Structure 1
Amino acid sequence: MEIQLIEASEVIPLRHEVLRPHQPIETCTYPDDHAEKTFHLGGIKNGRIVAVGTFSNRSHETDPELTYQLRGMATSPDVRGEGYGKALLEEARKVLAARQARGWWCNARLVAVPFYERSGLMIASESFEIEGIGPHHVMVDRFARKE
Structure 2
Amino acid sequence: MEIRIIQAPEVISLRHEVLRPNQPIEMCTYPDDQREGTFHLGGIKDGHIVAVGTFIQRSHETYPELTYQLRGMATSPAVRGEGYGKALLEEARNRLKAQGADGWWCNARLVAVPFYERLGLTVASESFEIEGIGPHHIMVDRF
TM-score between the two structures when normalised by the length of structure 1? 0.97
Report the equivalent of 1:4: 4
Q: Which amino acid aligns with 2:112?
A: A
1:54 and 2:54 matched: yes
Alignment of 1:84-95 (within 5 A): 84-95=84-95
Report the equivalent of 1:31: 31
Q: Which runs of 5+ in 2 are unaligned?
A: none
Structure 1 distance, partners of 2:28, 2:6, is 16
1:132 and 2:120 matched: no
Structure 2 distance, partners of 1:139, 1:63, is 11
Q: Which amino acid aligns with 1:59?
A: S
Q: Which amino acid aligns with 1:131?
A: E
Offset of 1:106 from its aligned partner? 0.1
Identity %: 82
Structure 1 distance, partners of 2:22, 2:61, is 30
Offset of 1:116 from its aligned partner? 0.1
- CA root-mean-square deviation: 0.4
Alignment of 1:66-145 (within 5 A): 66-143=66-143
Structure 2 distance, partners of 1:33, 1:98, is 21
Structure 2 distance, partners of 1:21, 1:95, is 30
Structure 2 distance, partners of 1:101, 1:35, is 18
Q: Which amino acid aligns with 2:8?
A: A
Offset of 1:2 from its aligned partner? 0.4
Offset of 1:98 from its aligned partner? 1.2
Count of matched residue positions in the alignment of Structure 1 and Structure 2: 143
Structure 2 distance, partners of 1:32, 1:95, is 19
Offset of 1:63 from its aligned partner? 1.0
Q: Can you list the C-alpha shifts for 1:22-79, whole angstroms capped at 9, x where unaligned?
A: 0001100111100110000000000000000000000001110000000000000000
Q: Can you list the C-alpha shifts for 1:93-144, whole angstroms capped at 9, x where unaligned?
A: 011011110010000000000000001100000000000000000000001x
TM-score between the two structures when normalised by the length of structure 2? 0.99
Which stretches of structure 1, 4 residues or more, deviate above 6 A after TM superposition?
none
Report the equivalent of 1:18: 18
Report the equivalent of 1:45: 45
